[in-house]
Structure 1
């Protein structure tokens, strides 16, 4: 990342200069330059006066450092778009994201796979569900993302399909996407049992940091509807 940032900040430089700036050997710089080229950075090198190492900005977009949650968001958006209809450039989007995923450092790629396994995507909602579905409270998306990604509890007021209202505290282990509706696949903290909560029936959500959990994939699997069309975002 430091090497890529140096290349972005200069018109042209040399392997020796880069090695001195990074306090590594020229061989290390050459190896890392090769790695950046393999990942798609348009780096060129010319010998002699006026030459050197440079980033060819007009040839493409330089690498962007994305958080795990940002990569997962892009992957989910592309997956939903592809399954909703055959849009132009759908295959190109999938190919580009595959290259992005392949370029992630091992630790970040591992975190991303764990997060993707917790997201279950199925077919669009039925017309009946769509007709009766409302919008979640505006703050729910941000609060759910924080609790889901950070492994924290979630508390909220819930109204079930029969109109009964309760206050709940849960561990948000999974997310089930049935566009445009989505559900939290959870463990009820007080009852200790799996529960599914629809997003538009949730009100007054808040993160409960004193409740911490590790993802329970058995609990997630136990709540996935039957059928091959329901698959995790990890594949």
Structure 2
């Protein structure tokens, strides 16, 4: 199967240095696939996303995208200028104007119908994340990229948001790349989990990772088939292979 997007031997340096943020990273995501990337702060998760989107200079390797690939992106943070009030309808028309019917339809899909005239500054955290998701879905993406999209949400809001993502994936068939600091994995539908810490430490299917002794020592058993909400403290030893087929030690400097 041809990958939607693929990173080959990707290396990225910290700005102004030759110290690697990411070293020799191989990554791919195929049509309809759900891939979850986890790792501690500073592990290079958001750097990987920016590289895949074409927003980071590469020190080595390459990123290959399928011709005509459409990507919907829900960023980690959005800075709002409260001095320039903007309502939801206007926000959805950035950068390309959409008509009222399209705006209403996409907001209904993400469960925030009727908010077209609401100023962004007056939205709750959960409402704002759903508006961001609506914007990302406007142009029928082949790949939906979510970079730590639930920061600031309480646990009920977090669970509701990930249920919505699961519904969107089933309805649209879009592939999903989910990036998280905390291990937030929809175990029943995540096809692969990748542990990143400046390099690919280990990876595998949800079933393989959840049954691995190292994974169970960290997160406990019984996680498969449920939404797993765990903190990933990255205190395990990646020098001991979980499985030779799913463990990829790389020489990389620690990334605090």
TM-score normalised over the length of structure 2: 0.30
TM-score normalised over the length of structure 1: 0.32
Higher RCO (CA-CA < 8 Å; seq separation 6+): 2
In proportion to residue count, which structure has more helix? 1
